[in-house]
Amino acid sequence: MTWNVADVTFEIDADATFEQVITVVIGTPQGRIFVMAEPREERRTLILDGFNIHSDAGAGAIGRANLKILAQLVMERMDYDELVVQGTSRTSGASPGRVPGKLRFSRCHIPASDLQP
C-alpha cells in the first residue's frame, strides 16, 4: 500500500534526542516509524549520518515506494534539494556488523495541494 502524503506526520522525540543525534517519530497508515541520525547540511543537501530506522509494522513492511515518499516529504518540508542517508552498522537482523551503502534522493516537486493535511 502506497501512502498518501497527507497521512504522514513528523514529530521530534525530545526525550530520545541527545547531543547531535535527533530522534523523529513518523506517523504513517501502517503505524509509527522511529528514525535516529546525526543530521548535517552541505549547501542544499541534508545528510543523515548514522541513520537507524525501526517500524511498528516490522521488517520490510514499509517498502521502497513509501521510503521515497518520506524522503520527498522531508526535502519538500525542510527545503532541501537532496537527501543523503548513511546507515550505521547493523546490530541484528540480516548481516550484523555490515554498514549499508549511502542512499541518495533528489527532490521532485510535490504539488502544494498534496502537502495539506
Across the range 89-113, mean pLDDT stands at 78
Q: Is the pLDDT of residue 57 over 90?
A: no
Across the range 92-110, mean pLDDT stands at 81
In this prediction the pTM is 0.81
Tell me: the pLDDT tens digits for 19-43? Answer: 999 999 999 999 999 999 999 999 9
Q: Is the pLDDT of residue 112 over 70?
A: no
Average pLDDT, whole number, for the chain? 88
Smallest Cα–Cα separation from 66: which of 7, 23, 109? 7
The full set of domains in the chain, from first to last, is 5-115 (3.40.630)
Please give the single-letter amino acid code of residue 115.
L
